[in-house]
Amino acid sequence: MKFGRCKECYQVITGSYGCLSCNQKRFQRKFDKWSSGNTEIDELIRYKQVSARDFSDVLEWIPLSRFTNIKYIAEGGFAKVYSATWIDGYIINWNQEYNNWKRSGTYRVALKVLKNSRDLSLDFLNEIKNLAKISNNYEGIIKFHGITQVPDTSNYALVFKLEDYDLRYCLNQYFSPCSNKKEYTEKICLGLFNIHKHGLIHKDLHIGNVLCSNGSSARISDFGFCKPANEASSHTNNTNTYGVMPYMAPEILRGKEYTQASDVYSLGIIINEIVSIIPPFCDRPHDYYLAIDICCGLRPKIREEIPGKLKELIRKCWDANPKTDQLLK
Residue 202's domain comprises 165-233+241-318
259: domain CATH number is 1.10.510.10
Q: What's the whole-model pTM score? A: 0.88
Please tell me the predicted confidence (pLDDT) of residue 124. 78
**Measured between alpha carbons, how far is residue 21 from residues 6, 8, 61, 136, 206 in Å?**
10, 10, 21, 21, 42
Domain boundary among 128, 161, 194: 161
Spell out the per-residue pLDDT of the chain, length 329, in tens.
567 888 888 888 877 788 889 999 999 999 999 999 999 999 999 999 999 988 989 999 999 999 999 999 988 778 899 999 999 999 999 998 899 999 999 999 999 999 888 888 787 788 888 888 888 778 899 999 999 999 999 999 999 999 988 898 888 875 556 668 888 899 999 999 999 998 889 999 999 999 987 656 799 998 765 544 454 555 444 456 678 999 999 999 999 999 999 999 999 999 999 999 899 999 999 999 999 999 999 999 999 988 888 999 999 999 877 766 666 55
Residue 10 lies in a domain: no
- Give yes or no for a contact between 142 and 166, defined as CB atoms under 8 angstroms apart: no
Ramachandran quadrant class, 105 (left: phi over 0; alpha: psi -120 to 50; beta: rest): left
Residues 6+ apart with CB under 8 A from 125: 40, 41, 44
Cα separation, 174 vs 158, in Å, equals 28
- Phi (first) and psi of residue 185, to 5 degrees: -60, -45
Through-space distance between the first and last CA atoms of the chain, rounded to whole angstroms: 32
Asked if residue 198 and residue 58 are part of one domain, the reply reads no
Residue 294 lies in a domain: yes
Asked if residue 129 and residue 71 are part of one domain, the reply reads yes
